[in-house]
A = this chain, B = another copy of it.
Amino acid sequence: MGGDHGPSVTIPAALSFVNREPDAELILIGLEDVLRAELKKHHADTHPRLSIVHASEQVTMDDPLEVALRRKKDSSMRVAIEQVKSGNAQAAVSAGNTGALMAVARYVLKTMSGVDRPAICSIMPNQKNGPTYMLDLGANVDCEPHHLHQFAIMGSVLVSAMENIERPTIGLLNVGTEDIKGNEVVKATGKLLQLDHERGALNFFGNVEGNDIFKGTTDLVVCDGFTGNVTLKAVEGVARFFADTVRTEFKRTPLTMLSALLGRGALTAIKNRLSPSRYNGASLLGLRGLVFKSHGGADAYSFEWAIKRAYDAAKNDVLPHISTLIAELMPRNTETPEVATAPAIVSSAAGLVAGSTI
């Protein structure tokens, strides 16, 4: 039901996905009438690998976390996550409110053993024409070194599974590349990651700077949720500024309009390189279940990529792999009892570049 466009985007995406993946089954969660009507439009209301589970409510973009958590117990978001909890589904995908999604997922699924805090891992396009994975993007604003360490472990497993890279390179986001650079938390994190690197457990590249995200210096960039959120929103802001400026300037005179017409191929290619649809789908990592967040403004093609990411993560056993590596690298933490922490306070930080329109 989620996102800016609702079932008119999610249903065609779901259909295209099940038709492309002959082993996949999808459960559609939401208002049964609405979903069935949309399926009928596509002559797919009897598709053998699509089923519907009714949910009477929806979490809106403006709903406070309280409402998503305590009031709307039959929201499509919550019911979807409960499908994962019960084992009916191997992963959930939502285009809804990121903060609510993380809070509900954390409440229903609980945090994975050995992980102190779940994190949001998103994907940025880079100049090497590949993806740069980055976490955390907003769930954790005050981080200790062991939190960033856990983010690195979870992110490394995710990249490895999704991109088929045996030892993904991990960069620690910092103000300079030398070891002596950075604030106290980052310097201490660097030491933890270096130890893991030396025993061959993680492929720690070292410190990276803000521009390295887009250079593609490392496969994964690790940072606290405050820095990650601010950085990605700033990048989104620049992308929008750029897009608006291009649009305005090419509409200014008949000559520039002609230029835009002739250069349409170039303009479309620029848009696709900078906001690639295939990078839609941020992962909520560190939970006892797989949850993926599509950008709210995604079109059907882009939403299908979020579904595909969730499917690949389930098929490639991302959860048990994270669990194993966390237990191996953070042995002291695996016995920590689940602590009831406040729900994550996040904003919609996921898939920012992917969502900006040029």
Contacts and interface: CB of A to CB of B under 8 A. Distances in A.
A232 to B, nearest CB: 7
Number of copies of chain A assembled together:
2
Given A263-B255, A263-B259, A233 B210 contact: yes
B234 A180 contact: no
Contact of A175 (B182, B229, B235, B237): B229
Max chain B Cβ within 10 angstroms of own Cβ: one of A214, A230, A244: A230
Given A141-B175, A252-B266, 5 more contacts: A127-B244, A141-B181, A142-B184, A215-B237, A246-B270
A214 to B, nearest CB: 4
A304 B246 CA distance: 28
A213 B231 CA distance: 11
Contacts of A339: none
A265 B253 contact: yes
Contacts of A267: 249
Contacts of A263: 250, 255-256, 259-260, 263
Contacts of A186: 226
Interface of A: 125-127, 138, 141-142, 173-176, 180-184, 186, 209-215, 223, 225-227, 229-242, 244-246, 249-250, 252-253, 255-256, 258-263, 265-267, 269-270, 273-274, 345-347, 349, 353
A212 B236 CA distance: 10
A294 to B, nearest CB: 20
B182 A226 contact: yes
Contacts of A255: 262-263, 265
Given A249-B269, A265-B255, A266-B252, A183 B226 contact: yes
A229 B245 contact: no
Contact of A211 (B215, B240, B270): B240
A233 B346 CA distance: 23
B262 A238 contact: no
Contacts of A232: 210
Nearest to A214: B237
Contact of A234 (B225, B231, B347): B231
